[in-house]
Amino acid sequence: MFSSLPLLPADPILGLSVAYQQDTNPAKVDLGVGIYKNDAGETPVMAAVAAAEALRLRQENSKAYTHPAGYPGANAAVTRLAFGNNHPAADAGRIRTIQTPGGCGALRVAAELIQRARPSATIWVSTPTWANHIPLLGNAGLQLREYPYYDYQSHSIDFPAMLDALRKIPAGDLVLLHAACHNPSGADLSREQWQQVADVALERGFIPFIDMAYQGFGEGLEADSYGPRLLAERLPEVILAVSFSKNFGLYRERAGALSVVFRDSSEADAGLSQLLSVTRALYSMPPAHGSAIIDIILHSDELTRQWQEELDTMRNRISGLRQNLVTSLNAIQQQVDFSFIARERGMFSFLGLNRDQVLQLRRDYSIYMTDNSRISIAGLRNDKLDYVAQAIKSILAS
Ligand code: PMP
């Protein structure tokens, strides 16, 4: 049977990591993989996470199944984290949240729910979007189409083109938006632009489907959830897929959540029953460990404070690196003004190099990034900034 299956090419980002690991050049720099690293190039367990984990190991006395929706207390806490305290949709009993295996799990479960509710729906994704959105959503059987978003020339959102496309979207379709720290461009909607998106969604009747994988990495926990909170206030139906991989550093534990805002609480009850039937058929119930850690942190004032401080440190390191990279690059060459990197947010930016230049950086300088010149800012280190800037200057000049 399996002889009919061809060998697939390696995932480009994972392939890049392997190539980086095999590179023996001591000056090598990994700007490919999208995980947070500190200035020593490590991704340590956050202290608040380690403390909560130690507590859990002492307290957990059973490995019996948990609830199919995950820990109820954690669901209430992560709903507050995403939507804030006393959000009107939460107070009206219109939000249902379930734990999912990471943000990917949330995206896929949402796609399956959409497929049940409206199999003919199209999901509109930004050009560009995170590459994994396409198989995650498309493999649930939904149609995918694109709306214009990032303009590679101006290194910013082409908002008029985006609005123009949104104004033509049929009622009942879904529009995938990135809450903050757009992956792969780093270009985020301003508050005013979120308001305009809400206006068009109301006017047209499309449903916002928001991916929030970096809450706290852009400008802060509240600021980064401005879009989801606003849309959930102004619209009858909103989907929010959340990942805790980055902001709690729980990558391998697969911690995420899916919150759906329904028209009213009875639709919400029906919707939750459908969500649980989707997950039952996919994986039965979510992994417990990561969510239990989040549950402990969010129910302890002290651990919450410690976690937020650590998150602030990560965010400040990224924005500092953005600023320092611009300073280093703009000080040694005038060919390209790289100041856009400091205007962008989160883990990623496009340098705007062509594929040959990217390959040259890899071959001649052991600097690794994806072929489209997307860099993962957290992969930089302050002691490597000058090396990276000099290398970019040389390939721009050649
Ligand atoms: N959405 C986006 C935009 C992401 O960048 C990621 C992680 N790279 C995810 C969702 C999913 O994250 P995970 O499944 O690892 O929690």
Closest CA to ligand 1's atom 8:
34
**Atom from ligand 1 closest to the CA of residue 182:** 3
Residue at a domain's end among 234, 269, 299: 299
Mean pLDDT of 196-221: 98
Strands 150-151 and 238-243: unpaired
- Confirm whether 21 is domain-assigned: yes
Residues 38 and 74 in one domain: no
Catalytic residue among 211, 295, 307, 384: 211
Strand partners, 124: 145, 175
- Ligand 1: centre distance to CA 203 (Å): 30
**Atom from ligand 1 closest to the CA of residue 178:** 3
CA distance 282 to 75: 20
Burial (CB count within 10 angstroms: exposed 0-12, middle 13-18, buried 19+), residue 54: exposed
Nearest to 99 by CA among 283, 265, 311: 283
Residues 358 and 381 in one domain: yes
**Around Cβ 381, how many Cβ atoms within 10 Å?**
17
- Confirm whether 374 is domain-assigned: yes
CA distance 320 to 38: 12
* Percent of the residues in the chain that have a pLDDT greater than 70, as a whole number: 100
Q: What is the pLDDT of residues 7-48, one digit of tens each?
A: 988 787 888 989 999 999 999 999 998 899 999 999 999 999
ipTM value: 0.99
Residues 71 and 171 in one domain: yes
Residue at a domain's end among 276, 299, 322: 299
Residue at a domain's end among 299, 333, 356: 299
- Confirm whether 55 is domain-assigned: no
Mean pLDDT of 281-301: 97
Please list, residue by residue across 224-237, b when 16 or more beta carbons sit within 10 angstroms of its beta carbon and e when fewer do. Answer: bbbbbbbbbebbbb
- Confirm whether 263 is domain-assigned: yes
- Confirm whether 33 is domain-assigned: yes
- Confirm whether 86 is domain-assigned: yes
- Is residue 211 part of the annotated active site? The answer reads yes
Residue 316 reports pLDDT greater than 90: yes
Tokens of 259: 């919150």
CA distance 62 to 49: 21
Domain count within the chain: 2
Residues 209 and 352 in one domain: no
Domain region containing 21? 2-45+304-397
- Ligand 1: centre distance to CA 242 (Å): 8
Tokens of 114: 């959409």
Residues 289 and 319 in one domain: no
Residue 267 reports pLDDT greater than 90: yes
Residues 292 and 310 in one domain: no
**Atom from ligand 1 closest to the CA of residue 130:** 3
- Per-residue model confidence (pLDDT) at position 180: 98
- Ligand 1: centre distance to CA 213 (Å): 5
Q: What is the CATH classification number for the domain harbouring 370?
A: 3.90.1150.10
Q: Is the CB of 253 under 6 A from ligand 1?
A: no
Q: What is the pLDDT of residues 209-227, one digit of tens each?
A: 999 999 999 999 999 999 9
Catalytic residue among 173, 246, 295, 384: 246
Residues 245 and 312 in one domain: no
Residues 154 and 260 in one domain: yes
Q: Is the CB of 103 under 6 A from ligand 1?
A: yes
- Is pTM beyond 0.95? Reply is yes
- Ligand 1: centre distance to CA 234 (Å): 26
Residues 286 and 313 in one domain: no
- Confirm whether 125 is domain-assigned: yes
Residues 260 and 355 in one domain: no
DSSP string, 273-295: HHHHHHHHHHTSS--SHHHHHHH
Task: State the amino acid at position 74 in one-letter form.
Answer: A
Residues 212 and 345 in one domain: no
CA distance 11 to 17: 10
- Per-residue model confidence (pLDDT) at position 10: 78
Strand partners, 367: 29
CA distance 253 to 304: 19
- Confirm whether 57 is domain-assigned: no
- Ligand 1: centre distance to CA 27 (Å): 29
Q: Is the CB of 66 under 6 A from ligand 1?
A: no
**Atom from ligand 1 closest to the CA of residue 34:** 8
Q: Is the CB of 128 under 6 A from ligand 1?
A: no
Residues 323 and 184 in one domain: no
- Ligand 1: centre distance to CA 217 (Å): 13
CA distance 81 to 225: 9
Q: What is the pLDDT of residues 247-266, one digit of tens each?
A: 999 999 999 999 999 999 99
**Atom from ligand 1 closest to the CA of residue 129:** 3
Helix, strand or coil, per DSSP, at residue 238:
strand
Give a three-class secondary structure readout of 172-225. CCEEEEECCCCCCCCCCCCHHHHHHHHHHHHHHCCEEEEEECCCCCCCCHHHHC
